[in-house]
């Protein structure tokens, strides 16, 4: 029986979009936190 | 080569990385979104695979970045061992997480593509198994970096591991030639492609887009590692004073 490919295509796109968004967000947050800590240590 | 040495200065690197990070990220995201949209709506279905072929616009870039990430990690590791540039060590460490994520995404998208095309989620064939090994090697590298940092190591052991891991790259690349695999043979090469251009063209956008996003993520992680090291050094100086 041939499977409808669209649920598989949509699942692949959704997983990649979520994974790249989470990775980008976590990397950006780690960068901002670390750079803010440097600024704070300079002021202290 | 002198330009590479000049960039190995963290202050000079940061002056370049700060404005470059958002440019790479947003440009990459725009290209990837356009390529993804075009791949979903602007290309014909494949005569054999039908609409399942649209997963190619994600699967190929994630495979390219999973393997390309390790190539970058190995080059940075080699640069660290040869020239002892701390920035090379930071670069190798920053590549590991996005490299692992993209290698994992390659496995997941491949598995999802395999179900409607091959009739199975997974097959222990040469290409799939060697890519899974690369994913585990990324995880091992990250564990090794953490252990090395915890014991105050100089980063040589993870760097040697980073170089040794490159042995997997030709195995992944030629697995479809060396062994009979369920995975299709090479269809995109430097000299051309066996895929019709009417299907292939959005792939160039997703490839370029995801590569730029990957580069932006690596820059973010490098900036985080450099800032953390700077804050720690400053605290240590204050404690000693």
Q: What is the pLDDT of residues A31-42, one digit of tens each?
A: 999 999 888 887
Shortest alpha-carbon distance between residue A11 and chain B (Å): 8
Number of residues that this document lists for chain A: 44
Mean pLDDT within B148-157: 91
Task: Give B-chain residues touching A3 at CB under 8 angstroms.
Answer: 115-116
pLDDT tens by residue, B161-202: 999 999 999 999 888 888 877 787 777 777 777 788 888 999
Task: State the pLDDT at residue B219.
Answer: 98
**DSSP for residue B53:** G
Q: What is the ipTM of this complex?
A: 0.94
Q: 3-class SS at A5?
A: coil
Question: pTM to 2 decimals?
Answer: 0.93
* Residue B96: band (very low, low, confident or very high) from pLDDT cuts 50, 70, 90: very high
Task: Give A-chain residues touching B32 at CB under 8 angstroms.
Answer: 20
Task: State the pLDDT at residue B56.
Answer: 96
Which of B27, B69, B223, B233 to mutate to test binding with chain A, by most A CBs within 10 Å of its CB?
B223
Neighbours of A14 (CB within 10 A): 10
Mean pLDDT within B216-224: 97
Quick check: B114 pLDDT over 60?
yes
* Residue B7: band (very low, low, confident or very high) from pLDDT cuts 50, 70, 90: low
pLDDT, tens digit only, all 44 positions of chain A: 678 999 999 999 999 999 999 999 999 999 999 999 888 887 77
pLDDT tens by residue, B19-78: 999 999 999 999 999 999 999 999 999 888 899 999 999 999 999 999 999 999 999 999
Measured between alpha carbons, how far is B223 from B227 in angstroms, rounded to an integer? 6
Which residue numbers of A have CB closer than 8 Å to B's CBs?
A: 2-6, 8-9, 11-13, 15-16, 19-20, 23-24, 27-28, 30-31, 33-35, 37-38, 41-42, 44
Task: State the pLDDT at residue B211.
Answer: 98
Measured between alpha carbons, how far is B14 from B134 in angstroms, rounded to an integer? 30
Quick check: B1 pLDDT over 60?
no
**Helix spans in chain B (H):** 2-7, 10-41, 56-83, 86-118, 126-150, 156-164, 168-178, 197-240
Average pLDDT, chain B: 91
Owner of token pair 């799939």? B128
């Amino acid at each position: 029986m041939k499977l409808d490919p669209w649920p598989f295509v949509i699942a692949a796109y959704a997983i990649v979009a979520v994974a790249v968004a989470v990775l980008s967000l976590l990397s950006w947050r780690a960068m901002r936190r670390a750079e803010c800590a440097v600024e704070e240590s300079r002021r202290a | 080569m002198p330009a590479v040495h000049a960039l190995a200065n963290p202050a000079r690197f940061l002056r370049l990385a700060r404005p470059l990070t958002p440019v790479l990220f947003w440009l990459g995201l725009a290209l990837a979104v356009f390529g993804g949209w075009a791949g979903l709506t602007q290309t014909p279905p494949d005569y054999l695979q039908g609409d399942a072929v649209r997963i190619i616009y994600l699967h190929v870039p994630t495979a390219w970045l999973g393997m390309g990430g390790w190539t970058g990690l190995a080059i940075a590791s080699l640069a660290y061992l040869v020239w002892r540039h701390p920035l090379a060590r930071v670069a190798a460490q920053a590549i590991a997480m996005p490299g692992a994520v993209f290698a994992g995404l390659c496995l997941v998208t491949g598995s999802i593509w395999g179900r409607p095309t091959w009739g199975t989620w997974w097959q222990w064939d040469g290409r799939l198994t060697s890519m899974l090994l690369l994913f585990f090697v990324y995880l091992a590298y990250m564990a090794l970096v953490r252990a090395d940092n915890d014991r105050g190591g100089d980063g040589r052991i993870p760097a040697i591991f980073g170089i040794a891991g490159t042995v997997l790259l030709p195995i992944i690349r030629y697995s479809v030639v060396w062994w009979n695999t369920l995975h299709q043979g090479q269809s995109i090469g430097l000299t051309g492609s066996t895929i019709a251009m009417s299907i292939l063209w959005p792939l160039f956008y997703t490839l370029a887009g995801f590569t730029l996003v990957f580069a932006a993520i690596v820059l973010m992680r490098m900036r985080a590692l450099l800032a953390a090291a700077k804050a720690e050094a400053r605290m240590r100086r204050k404690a000693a004073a």
